[in-house]
Amino acid sequence: MDSVFDSSIGYWLDGKKPELVSRFCTDTRSLHPDDCYIALITDARDGHIFLEDAKMNGASCAIVSQPKLDVDLPQFVCPDTNVAIIEMAKLARSMFTGTMIAITGSFGKTTTKDILKLLLGIEKNATFENKNGQLGVPMTLASISNGEAFAVVEVGIDSIGAIDKLVELVEPDIAILTGISKIHMLGMGSESTIAHEKSQLLLEAIKNGGHGIFPEECLRFDDCQKIQDYCEVVKKDGKDVGYHMAIQGDRYHVEVRFREEVLKFVMPRLMSSGTAQDFVLACICALECGVSSANIRERISQWKPSKWRGEIIKTSTRTYFADCYNANLTAFLNSLSQFDRLFPHGNRLFVVGALKHEEVGSGVIDDNATVFKNLPLRENDRVAIIGESMEFSMDGIDWLIFPSTLEAMEVVTNFRGVVYLKGHRHYGLERLIC
């Protein structure tokens, strides 16, 4: 990674360099040991005031535009830190000789990335957590190296045109579109617009001599229909590239058809049907990259859900099913099915963060109605809704509405049994785990 700290971008203050740089970070509260802290200047804050915090929290160095001599931390000085990380990303991408894989979609990006990272056997050349936006993508790219043969980069967008610069930075060899649903509707307008924007990543891979991978349901959009001949369209029970999935006991069994082969896999117990479909996309990509079915079978057995994405957390009095990172209608229905499969009996409390208009658009009432009408409720189950009340009837259901998450704390702490937590991350439902 030393090579991205190029003299054309900046210089090391007093020639002092770090011994190691693991990755890049813009928030001192999220620093990991040996991270490089980027002191950004925005309308909201000047990151340079946190240089001492960066040092105390384990940063190995910092990228700055205003060096501070009184902070004993290696500082890479450049005219503009926002520009510097972009230039570093371009430089790292130009030097990377391996296969660049980009993942986009309305849901499942991080899960697909985590699975693909596992299947390809890579540790470093991948998006950290879910940092997939205008800053996250260049920070990921600046961190990649030829120490691994593959790189996997998530690309997320929330407005029209936001993907254009990211596509140019990533230059994917393979692009995966996980699916399209209503999300970030305030900035995107419609599902068709979302499909158009996200398909730009697949077009870039095709232009680079590679191809795209996406599920058959994306063919309902014109932009995906136009490029299907240049992509692997993964179809349920498809003859060339497809899959079949069935629940057997407490696990999903998946058959993947890849050209002339039919490969069989058993998913880990905690994997939902939606995650199993993410596995199919990652599996097709891994096979394209030359990973053997035996390695895929062995590696997928090591999978476990990442933080707040279907985790099971046990305390002395309660068990929590924490799926509270992100939410849309597709994710909700998949999550509810998973929860009911894992916890079919006993006392159950459903804590649900209502979908909001700014996320899913004008159909928010119908989407919330669909979520709540699909709650797999049994006798003695209870429901707590966080957020605005919904304009539909839930007659016969023991349910409560709370304006904010912490106002539901008493209901949770007085409950004994299994607690389902699902909602967008802005609700912070994980705060109810105690």
Written as six digits, the tokens of 2 are 């030393």
Question: Is the pLDDT at 397 greater than 70, yes or no?
Answer: no
pLDDT confidence of 389, banded at 50, 70, 90? low
Mean of per-residue pLDDT scores for the chain: 93
The domains found in the chain, sorted by start residue, are 2-80 (3.40.1390.10), 96-300 (3.40.1190.10), 309-432 (3.90.190.20)
Model confidence at 345: pLDDT above 70: yes
Helix H or strand E segment including 264: strand 261-266
| Measured CA distances, 16 to 13, 62, 75 (Å) | 6, 11, 8
Q: How confident is the model at residue 363 (pLDDT cuts 50, 70, 90)?
A: confident
* Rounded average pLDDT over 256-262: 92
Residue 113, classified by CB atoms within 10 Å of its CB into exposed (0-12), middle (13-18) or buried (19+), is: buried
Residue with tokens 């926002």: 82
Structure tokens at 18: 């770090």
Tens digit of pLDDT for each residue in 53-68?
999 999 999 999 999 9
Of 66-80, 118-132, 167-181, 376-390, give the lowest mean pLDDT range. Answer: 376-390
Across residues 226-253, what is the average pLDDT? 94
Helix/strand/coil (H/E/C) assignment for every residue in 10-67: CEEHHHCCCCCCCCEECCHHHCCCCCEEECCECCCCEHHHHHHHHHHCCCCEEEECCC
Query: Is residue 43 exposed (0-12), middle (13-18) or buried (19+ Cβ within 10 Å)?
Result: exposed
Ranking 77-91, 94-108, 188-202, 219-233 by mean pLDDT, the lowest is: 188-202
Q: Which pLDDT value is given to residue 396? A: 58
Mean pLDDT computed over 235-243: 90
- 432-to-284, 331, 337, 368 alpha-carbon distances in Å: 38, 21, 22, 22
